[in-house]
Amino acid sequence: MRRGFWFVAGAGAGVYAMVRGRRAAEALTADGLRDRLHGLEAGVRVFRDEVAQGYAEKETELRQRYGLVPDGTPRLGRGPHRAAGANDVHGVVSTSSIAEASSTTEESSTTEEEEGSH
């Protein structure tokens, strides 16, 4: 029984070594190297597409969060998430944004006074 076990173990090791040797020899041929190169190229392409997709998703999320339109200029409307200083372009604050801010402050203070008097 002991001899049978070692015979089967040796035969299995021999088959395993032959299969591994054939795979290594095939990988080092011109066709094998070409196949590996094409596989690497496909992997790089998939990775590049995944990164580009993630970049686009994150950019869209950030633009929505800060109220930016696709060309990068701030929106003039009010949204739930406005970028700080969204109305000032290159450090210049327009008079319309100042008037808009003051009217918003006046409306909110008037509403608070009305609620307090009732």
Q: What is the pLDDT of residues 52-63, one digit of tens each?
A: 999 999 999 998
- Each domain of the chain, given as residue ranges in start order, spans 2-86, 88-118
CA dist 63 and 73 (Å) reads 10
Q: Could you identify the residue written with the tokens 């009010």?
A: 78
DSSP letter at 15? H
CA dist 59 and 26 (Å) reads 45
DSSP letter at 80? S
pTM above 0.85, yes or no: no
Q: Which residues of the chain have pLDDT under 50?
A: 88-89, 92-93
